[in-house]
Amino acid sequence: MAYTTIDDPSAYFQTDIYTGDGSTTQAQTFDGNSDMQPDMVWIKERSETRSHVLFDSIRGVTVQLNTNSTASDATVNDSLKVFGSDGYSVGPNNSTGKNTETYVAWGWKESATSGFDIVSWTGTGSSNAVSHSLSATPSMIIIKNRDDTDSWYVWHQGLGAVASNYINLDTTGAKSSVSDGITAISSSNFTVNTRGDVNENSMKYIAYCFAEKQGYSKFGSYTGNGNADGTFVYTGFKPAFVMIKRTDTGDNWLIKDIKRDPINQMEKRIFPNLSNAEDTGSGGNYDFLSNGFKLRESDAIGNASGGTYIYMAFAEAPLVGTNNVPCTAR
């Protein structure tokens, strides 16, 4: 029996779907745990071609980044308005609250308990240890230069044991390795070298750091089998959200979640590296199961024969015992 460290995943991660009303301030309440005040909100307009917009509590509600773009911080006063005590509020900006348009928002709460920390620093142009508060070695780090048009730099433990391996969030590119990016990772900090997308002198940076928590989150890798009866990926919980990227060759990132697609087989696709509207094209069929997810198509984006993939997943609900009580860690 696997155990969980978190009884209620919705206290730390939730997905929200809504329709914009064009008002100055449109309040959105998460329908899970009522105390889930997010520290990071990622919003995508579903029905039109528009950029992803990402906000966090360090940069503030008026400052956004786009995961599908290398653009630096942009100040937008009518996009996200508030990180609420149980949700968030948006303005009438086309990317967040245009009248009658549909949106999805993913929210994370910063906490060592859930393995999520947001850190910022100013680049030094030389080897620099950046502290985090996870009290565990990160499983995934996503970095963006806030002042310049560098690509999003992603380190993931599924890319291999070498800290120098990385992949870009805003492109289709395969895994790469460099000596001047992240050079070391520990339970208290990670070290960035001289590369412009992680530590250029005087530039401001933001990093989203995740540490795997049993029964709540999983940061792993798998190999595709190229079959419609696709690879099963064990997470130890029923996923609420999964993001996938092929690493051995170029292809899009992919996000699946149970709010937009609550019934298996799940067909709806959103690509973090593209501004495209949500679609149901080839490569979108997945099942979210009680202990993991299963691929239901042979498309290269998620299940090419011999293809290697990384993923991050967050739980809808923890595994439970026969009395329907969460199996907490012991």
Sequence ranges of the domains in the chain = 10-108, 116-210, 217-317
pLDDT (tens digit, 9 = 90+) per residue, 200-227? 999 999 999 999 999 999 999 999 999 9
- 116-210 classified as CATH 2.40.160: no
Question: Rounded to whole angstroms, how far apart are CA atoms 141 and 275?
Answer: 22
* The Cα angle at residue 315 between residues 311 and 321, in degrees rounded to 5: 130
pLDDT at position 1 is: 44
pLDDT at position 299 is: 86
Pairing of strands 204-210, 140-145: antiparallel
pLDDT (tens digit, 9 = 90+) per residue, 60-84? 999 999 999 999 999 999 999 999 9
* Tokens standing for residue 151: 């690509």
Name the 3-class secondary structure at 265: coil
pLDDT at position 329 is: 43
Residues of the chain with pLDDT under 70: 1-4, 282-284, 318-330
pLDDT at position 283 is: 61
pLDDT (tens digit, 9 = 90+) per residue, 88-122? 999 999 999 999 999 999 999 999 999 999 999 99
Helical spans, DSSP H, in the chain: 196-199, 300-303
The closest alpha carbon to 28, from 140, 38, 289, belongs to 38
pLDDT at position 238 is: 95
pLDDT at position 7 is: 87
* Tokens standing for residue 93: 């900006």
Tally the C-alpha atoms within 13 A of residue 282's C-alpha that lie toward its C-beta.
8
The three-state DSSP-derived secondary structure of the chain is CCCECCCCHHHCEEEEEEECCCCCCEEEECCCCCCCCCCEEEEEECCCCCCCEEEECCCCCCEEECCCCCCCCEECCCCEEEEECCEEEECCCCCCCCCCCEEEEEEECCECCCCEEEEEEECCCCCEEEECCCCCCCCEEEEEECCCCCCCEEEEHHHCCCCCEEEECCCCCCCEECCCCEEEECCCEEEECCCHHHHCCCCEEEEEEECCCCCCEEEEEEECCCCCCCCEEECCCEEEEEEEEECCCCCCCEEEECCCCCCCCECCEECCCCCCCCECCCCCCEEEECCEEEECCCCHHHHCCCCEEEEEEEEEECCECCCCCECECC
pLDDT at position 327 is: 55
pLDDT at position 3 is: 61
φ/ψ of residue 328, rounded to 5: -80, 155
Name the 3-class secondary structure at 141: strand
* 48 alpha carbon, distance to own chain's centre: 21
The closest alpha carbon to 64, from 46, 37, 42, belongs to 42
pLDDT at position 265 is: 87
Pairing of strands 128-131, 116-122: unpaired
14-30: string of b/e by CB count within 10 Å (b at 16+)? bbbebebeeeeebebbb
